[in-house]
Structure 1
Amino acid sequence: MLSGTVTAMERFGVFVTLDDGPDHPVFPGVGFITIPELSWRRIEAASDVVQVGQRVSCEFLQFDTWNLEARLSLRATQPDPFQTFADGVAVGQKLHGQVTKLVPFGIFVQVADGIEGLVHLGELTSTPAQTPPDVVQVGDEVTVVVTTIDRERRRLALSRRRASSEPQ
């Protein structure tokens, strides 16, 4: 575990001045956290999680010899909400959620705080020729059934079609 202060924010991550950084003759004590390593949640910008001047404790991932900096992870210091969610849900279970995104191959539904699953186009309705905007809009509340939980890849597959075809 390394501690330091956020000193600069870029669109691709944040720079951290480390209290006890790896020795390097040119850039001693510089660390970098990429956007995906800031949080388990999907974020738009580093400022969604940290601010310049903020103290952070991070896990050391590796020393980047090309950029001469320590690669760090803030999210590694926090429990993975997907794994906690997966502990409490089972394949076949009905969930309620809100549509967060429409894509050509289906829709994403938020079924818990920070947990989204994919309803593939073929699982959207019993009529397969639909496109997502023909069926639902972002913000709609939907009932879905869990079809797959992939802990390793942190993916949740859902079906809206199966949720509506089962007796209530």
Structure 2
Amino acid sequence: MKRRTKIIAVAAAFLIIAGATGSAVASGEGADGVSAARTVQREAAALTGTAKLYRPAGDDITFSFDAHLAEQDRQDPMKATGTFRFSHYKGDWGGYAKVKVDCLATGGKVAVVSGVVVETDVKEFRKARVGVTVHDDAAGDRLGYTWMTADPQKDKVPPCVSGAPFEKVEEGTGDFEVTPWEFVYPTE
């Protein structure tokens, strides 16, 4: 009888502890008593993903994005962080660039990101600011960029400026994700 009472007491204690822990988790409180909402960083805007551009001649053109605007910087898209990369190769010709993000603005499923090239093997892009526009569309992602109309060596591209998304993404390669930015308008 004593053994049965101990088993019931241990089981009851376990259920009470499990219930208390479940209540804390459900209320957004972690085991350490800190609110889970405070530990999760919500983003005001983001652009992530990789895709290849469609080129019938067989060019290998790839863009990858990892750009973010933190919630506390919601009102200032020029506080965006992250990088993006692009490369263009065909046969033994080509090059790449890595860009440090300096601005990110999104609206719906469209994102404009800009930054300064921090690594490249193409002299025209060294230390140039470039911009890219992405349209995250279920019917087929699209992309545009500043160097279609601006010379990276002599034209100064302002932050968060790019061309219309005129390029088609190769079918099956686009996995862009745009987190829409919502500007908070002053009420006074």
TM-score, normalising length from structure 1?
Answer: 0.29
- Structure number having the greater helix percentage: 2
Greater CA radius of gyration, 1 or 2? 2
Q: Which has the higher strand share?
A: 1
> TM-score, structure 2 length as denominator?
0.27
